[in-house]
Amino acid sequence: MTDNVSTHQAEEDARNEDILIYVNGKVVPKAQAMVSVYDSGFMLGDGVWEGIRLYNGRWTFLDEHIARLFEAAKAIDLAIGLTQEQVISAVLETQKANGMVTDAHARLMVTRGVKTRPFQHPKLSQRGPTMVIIMEHSRQKLPRPIRLATVPHMRGLPMTQDPKLNSHSKLNCILACIAAEKAGADEALMLDVHGFVNTTNACNFFIVRKGAVWTSTGDYCMNGITRQKVIDLCRANDIPVFERNFSLVETYSADEAFLTGTFGAQTPVGTLDGRVIGTGQLGPMTERIRGLYKTLVGA
Ligand SMILES: Cc1ncc(COP(=O)(O)O)c(C=O)c1O
């Protein structure tokens, strides 16, 4: 066994064997939570999703996540068939059924539904959409610094698979992650089409240099909600923050690097391509931003 860590570090929780899962309006035990083999999500990765987190009775930035879900659904011409309020009600209903009050994470998924034939054309998706909410107990651990490796896979231009779509199909990112693991790392650092540092396969990426926080321009990565909150927190707390192009040269010699995402909040980066970043441990700026974020979300 390799000693892999990831940005999705949480304590093991046996209660997750007994959770109830929302499937198309019903909340059912995990063992009975099924979708069809003809489902567009299973067959083709044809769907969109959001990951959301519950801290002390409040789903963090829920309205923004639901708005992003609807934006993505519109982009792929998928009619969710519910209002944003009804989707929020489904989240709350699932939470209530599971008796969760804090430290939970949900993956809210909507696919184009069940197909009549096993082929790609969206017109064949006749029954649906399919909506599933997997809500798990998830208490964050203090994250260990993760190891990144740069890979050849990119989150690319908007006219291929727009990097701003939280699509069910994650194959591009999965290939990136596999390449990183084969290089002895935990996750992949993906460059943009110009070779500038962009994002990881599952999170947004930041570096710290001389007291300033840098992240990519945002043109080629997921418009992460946590990313934006970190930028806003920096601005509100007089921490210089720049959305800009930068290369691996500036990244290897950064004082700190960290990742952002709803699940892990801010995860420190220990090494990149075998180079130790800063001390290789959680750095003071990352720690400060983690603290500010924790206060913001009421964790
Ligand atoms: C590729 C990618 N980058 C970044 C993120 C983080 O986004 P957020 O901060 O909104 O959770 C996600 C999460 O869905 C993602 O899939």
The pLDDT tens digits for 196-214 are 999 999 999 999 999 999 9
How many A from CA of 233 to the centre of ligand 1?
Answer: 18
Residue 258 domain-assigned (yes or no) = yes
162 and 287 assigned to the same domain: yes
SS3 letters across 222-263: CCCHHHHHHHHHHHHCCCCEEECCCCHHHHHCCCEEEEEECC
211 and 165 assigned to the same domain: yes
Residue 242 sits in a domain whose CATH number is 3.20.10.10
88 and 29 assigned to the same domain: yes
How many A from CA of 1 to the centre of ligand 1?
Answer: 27
- Boundary of a domain, candidates 101, 119, 137: 137
Q: How many domains does the chain have?
A: 2
163 and 256 assigned to the same domain: yes
Q: Which helix (H) or strand (E) holds 215?
A: strand 212-215
Residue 2 domain-assigned (yes or no) = no
- Regarding beta strands 104-111 and 47-55, do their DSSP bridges make them parallel or antiparallel, or are they unpaired? antiparallel
Residue 9 domain-assigned (yes or no) = no
Residue 74 domain-assigned (yes or no) = yes
189 and 287 assigned to the same domain: yes
Residue 36 has pLDDT above 70, yes or no: yes
215 and 276 assigned to the same domain: yes
**pLDDT value at residue 2:** 43
Q: Are 49 and 110 in contact (CB under 8 A)?
A: yes
Encoded tokens for 32: 């009975």
Residue 193 domain-assigned (yes or no) = yes
Residue 270 has pLDDT above 70, yes or no: yes
**pLDDT value at residue 4:** 56
- Boundary of a domain, candidates 137, 162, 193: 137
Residue to probe by mutation, ligand 1, list 262, 266, 289, most atoms within 8 Å of CB: 262
Q: What is the CA radius of gyration of the chain?
A: 19
How many A from CA of 228 to the centre of ligand 1?
Answer: 11
257 and 154 assigned to the same domain: yes
Can you tell me the distance from the alpha carbon of 268 to that of 298, in angstroms, rounded to the nearest whole number? 21
Q: Which helix (H) or strand (E) holds 180?
A: helix 171-182
89 and 124 assigned to the same domain: yes
Residue 1 domain-assigned (yes or no) = no
Q: Which domain holds residue 194?
A: 146-297
Q: Which atom of ligand 1 is nearest the CA belonging to 173?
A: 1
Can you tell me the distance from the alpha carbon of 109 to that of 107, in angstroms, rounded to the nearest whole number? 6
Query: How long, in residues, is the chain?
Result: 299
DSSP 8-state class, residue 125: E
pLDDT tens profile 245-268: 999 999 999 999 999 999 999 999
153 and 292 assigned to the same domain: yes
248 and 265 assigned to the same domain: yes
127 and 214 assigned to the same domain: no
Residue to probe by mutation, ligand 1, list 68, 174, 204, most atoms within 8 Å of CB: 204
Whole-model pTM? 0.95
Residue 116 sits in a domain whose CATH number is 3.30.470.10
Encoded tokens for 290: 């983690």
78 and 153 assigned to the same domain: no
- Boundary of a domain, candidates 112, 137, 162: 137
Residue 5 has pLDDT above 70, yes or no: no
CA 114 from centre of chain = 26
- Kindly report which listed range (23-37, 135-149, 164-178, 207-221) carries the lowest average pLDDT score: 135-149
Residue 108 domain-assigned (yes or no) = yes
Residue 56's region, left for phi above 0, alpha for psi from -120 to 50, else beta, is left
Q: Are 166 and 203 in contact (CB under 8 A)?
A: no
In sequence order, what E strands does 124-186 have? 125-127, 130-137, 146-150
Q: Is ligand 1 within 6 A of the CB of residue 111? A: no
Which band of pLDDT confidence, cut at 50, 70 and 90, is reported for residue 67? very high
Q: Is ligand 1 within 6 A of the CB of residue 260? A: yes
Residue 169 domain-assigned (yes or no) = yes
**pLDDT value at residue 3:** 52
Instruction: Provide the percentage of residues in the chain whose pLDDT is more than 70.
Output: 98
Q: Are 139 and 53 in contact (CB under 8 A)?
A: no
